Each structure stands twice: as structure tokens, then as C-alpha cells.
Structure 1
Amino acid sequence: MSILDYFKSSKKSNTAATAKERLQIIVAHQRSERGAPDYLPQMKQEIIEVIRKYVHISAEQVSVQFDQNDDDFSVLELNVTLPEK
């Protein structure tokens, strides 16, 4: 039975490490969206719809970032990964 316990414990630690990593990604994503305007998700969806008129892409291929600096200006960054032809 000790051999089976060894394999079980290693799977749990891998699962725990994976869960911790996913949680860190979620927290970082939520922190980056704190200062973002409310219209950003809708704007991202509309941008995806416009791009889909010309090229087939998924929502994961579009990244929208909003940064607001103390110098009274904001930066909206749009990254689109287009498929290769």
C-alpha cells in the first residue's frame, strides 16, 4: 500500500501547484482590470466581431489592456494574433 500512497501524494501536489498557478493568473488578471472602464469588455467583443468579418479568429486571440498613468493620460493597447495564411 505504501507504493500506492506515494503515487497519490505526488498527484495531489501537482494538482495543488496547478491550482495555485491558476489562481495567481486569475488574481493578476483581476488586478489589471480594476482601473479599467466599464465599457472595455463590450468594446473587446465589438472589435472581435469587426475582425471576424474579414478573418476567422477566436476571442483568445484578442487582448485588450487599459493602463492609466498619473500623468493624466490613458493607454489602450490592443493585440490581435492573426492566423497565418
Structure 2
Amino acid sequence: MDLMRFFKAKPKTSSVAKERLQLILAHERIGRNANGTAIPDFLPQLQRDLVAVLSKYVKIGDNDIKINVDRQDNLDLLEVKIEINR
């Protein structure tokens, strides 16, 4: 058994989520059609992942998250709107 791996600190969920979003954005930049618009085929899975992570901390449903990918000027924007029930 590798004792160093056993005692190693586990990554925080926020850093894991950040890495996933960075990978998704990088993949989205590569996946474009002929006219340069984004192909948002990852959005349903991203929404399910976000619901799974956020539901650990707050009450949230599948329809409480809205995700949109847009392009303004030279920037790709990932907009996430989350309704939190209190």
C-alpha cells in the first residue's frame, strides 16, 4: 500500500468543477461548425453534472439551471443561471 497516496489531500469539489468547466470550454472552442458558431452538444451533460454537485449543498431541481453558450466580439461566454430555493 502506498502510504503517501493514502494521506494525500483530496482535491476540493470547487477545483474539480473548475477543471471540468475549463475542459468543456476548451473542447467547445475546438468543436465549431463551418460558420464558426459553437456546437453546444455538451450542455445537457454539464447541466446534469452541475445539478449533482449543487444538490449536495442546496435544494435544486433539474429545471433550476439554465446554461447558454454565446459569442460576443472575440469572447466565448458560458452563462449559467441557477435558481436556488430557500
Relative to the length of structure 2, the TM-score reads 0.50
How many residues of Structure 1 are paired with residues of Structure 2 in the alignment? 50
Name structure 1 gaps, 5 residues minimum.
1-33
**Partner residue in 1 for 2:10:** none
Deviation, 1:73, is: 1.7
**Partner residue in 2 for 1:62:** 65
Deviation, 1:72, is: 2.9
Q: Which whole-Å deviations, capped at 9, do the CAs of 1:15-39 have from their partners, x for residues lacking one?
A: xxxxxxxxxxxxxxxxxxx844221
Q: Which amino acid aligns with 1:83?
A: N
Alignment of 1:29-68 (within 5 A): 35-68=38-71
Using the alignment, how far apart are the partners of 1:40 and 1:72 within structure 2? Answer: 21
Q: Percent identity?
A: 28
Q: Within the alignment, does 1:77 sit opposite 2:79 as a pair?
A: yes
Greater percentage in helix: 1
Q: Which whole-Å deviations, capped at 9, do the CAs of 1:32-84 have from their partners, x for residues lacking one?
A: xx844221211111011000111121111111011023x33210000111012
Q: Name segments (4+ residues, structure 1) moved above 6 Å.
A: none
Q: Which has the greater radius of gyration?
A: 1
Ranked by relative contact order (alpha carbons within 8 Å, sequence separation 6 or more), the top structure is 1
**Partner residue in 2 for 1:9:** none
